[in-house]
Amino acid sequence: MSSAAAGSPAHILAFPFSSPGHIIPFLDLTRLFITRGLTVTVLVSPSHVHLLQPMLSSSSSIQPLVLDCFDSFQSASGLPAKIRATARLYDPILHWFRSHPSPPVAILSDMFLGWTQQLASELGVPRLVFWPSGALTASVSNSQWRNLPKNDYPGNENSLISFPEIPNSPTYRWSEITPFCRDFKKGDADYEFLRSGMLANMESWGVVFNSFSELESVYLDHIKKIVGHNRVWAVGPLLPPEERVGPTNRGGSSSIPAYRVKAWLDEKADDSVVYICFGSRVTLPRKQTEVLAAALECSGVHFIWCVKAADEGRVGSEDGGIPDGFEDRVGERGFIIRGWAAQVEILSHRAVGAFVTHCGWNSLLEGLTAGVLMLTWPMGADQFTDAKLLVDQLGVAIRACEGGPQRVPDLAELTRLLAESVSGSRPERSRVAALREAARKAVNANGGSSTKDLEELLKQLGGLIKDGRKINETNY
């Protein structure tokens, strides 16, 4: 992407949510900001400061802000409680702003941090919300939180809930609705706080998505109608620059040296390897793990399987570790990674042709950008929405399993899908190749749609300062 707003050294406060799926793309966006002349202060917990190190070592335009009380809410139980606990940072941030010799002209914060809308208002600066997920997810989320869904057939997890006000009228099973909306606890302080924050996102001065117009134009337009303005920017896919593809610590260090993974892949034919990963948080239940292992064994495909190291070897656990003897039986056909995997590097290798994924948004974008055929296996959160976008609307993926942790795929069907995914016979493969080109063009420096949105965003941020003073403060 080309430089923009070169004469506008705006200073912003960036506040990511401390979760891998949120903080990784947030920091990818931060990197774009500082390479284009912005000054960015990033509010991070002590445990995540190391993720800033590549930028800190190469630029003076970024500074970490680590507040003493940051870790006080990390032990809160459950997502609503964790989100509400982050508001303990309200007064410390307020004090930091007011004592700073050159305070930020705007706050960019994660979609889980909707309470920063009030903070920004008190400070007289605009707040921009960053969605690490897509515009379809944001549309469904807003609809659910604004009008909490109801199940007309209590006890029926397959009861259908539709959203006719959203383009293409998406429909979901009751079990696929966000659990915090489905089981909303009216009067509970944590749940009420979460809901008010999610609704506040649509009151923000600007909305930034890790998406691109060729992927979600109809939903980006829908968001503009909801917020009532055009300050909605799609700047994705947010990924490390291609010249840095290789060993990186983006999000963490790989549990296996990159050269070992690459050496194994180098020996395989083009598009012949299936990569399996369910993200940094999802753990397959034991029954699903057993069926997946059996399907990999029966299909005869070459594969890389990333499993969470903490879930291996836990006696009596309902979570699934690799079955005993599995690695010996598959031999050189399989490569097991326990712990963090360098996913972008693996997917970009010529030998990888298919991706069994939980459909987290980061994984979805990484799979699309790599041009691999995806087999969808959503487990929760926005993953059901992402899977429907891939399969039903874009036609670039195949359903492998759906319905979350309670559903177990059919062994014969999964075996067939794994074999077909690398055979080259599926029509989805040509469609994902076309979308791959669209994703790459979006971030092209010469007029890509995401490049244009990023440049407009930078221009707007630069316009917030004039002669060293914030302008139009009363509008925020």
Question: What is residue 253's predicted lDDT score, i.e. its pLDDT?
Answer: 58
pLDDT for the residue numbered 50: 87
Task: Name which of 179-183, 250-254, 265-269, 413-417 the model is least confident about.
Answer: 250-254
At 198-224, the pLDDT tens digits run 999 999 999 999 999 999 999 999 999
pLDDT band with cut points at 50, 70 and 90 for residue 127: very high
The C-alpha angle with vertex 262 and arms to 352 and 293, in degrees rounded to 5, equals 55
Task: Name residue 355's beta-bridge partners.
Answer: 275, 374
Residue 91: active-site member: no
Q: Which of 22, 48, 302, 349 is catalytic?
A: 22
d(CA 241, CA 224): 29
pLDDT exceeds 90 at position 72: no
Residue 475's closest CA among 227, 129, 124?
124
Report the pLDDT averaged over residues 247-265.
74
- From the list 474, 471, 466, 464, the residue with the least C-alpha distance to 107 is 464
Catalytic status, residue 95: no
Domain 254-437 in the same topology as domain 11-236+445-470: yes
Domain 11-236+445-470 listed as CATH 3.40.50.2000: yes
How far apart, in Å, are the Cα atoms of 160 and each of 338, 363, 383, 440, 468? Answer: 37, 27, 17, 36, 54
Residue spans per domain, the chain: 11-236+445-470, 254-437
The alpha carbon of 66 is separated from its chain's Cα centroid by a whole number of angstroms, namely 23
pLDDT tens digit sequence for 304-360: 999 876 544 443 345 557 888 999 999 999 999 988 888 999 999 999 999 999 999
Fold (topology level) of 254-437? Rossmann fold (3.40.50)
Q: What 3-state DSSP class applies to 357? A: strand
At residue 472 the predicted structure's pLDDT band, cuts being 50, 70 and 90, is very low
Q: Which residue has the higher pLDDT, 422 or 320?
A: 422
Selected catalytic residue, list 11, 28, 110, 349? 110
Sequence-distant (≥ 6) Cβ neighbours of residue 66 within 8 angstroms: 43, 44, 45, 46, 49
- Contact 375/353 with Cβ under 8 angstroms? no
Summarize the confidence of residues 162-189 as an average pLDDT: 92
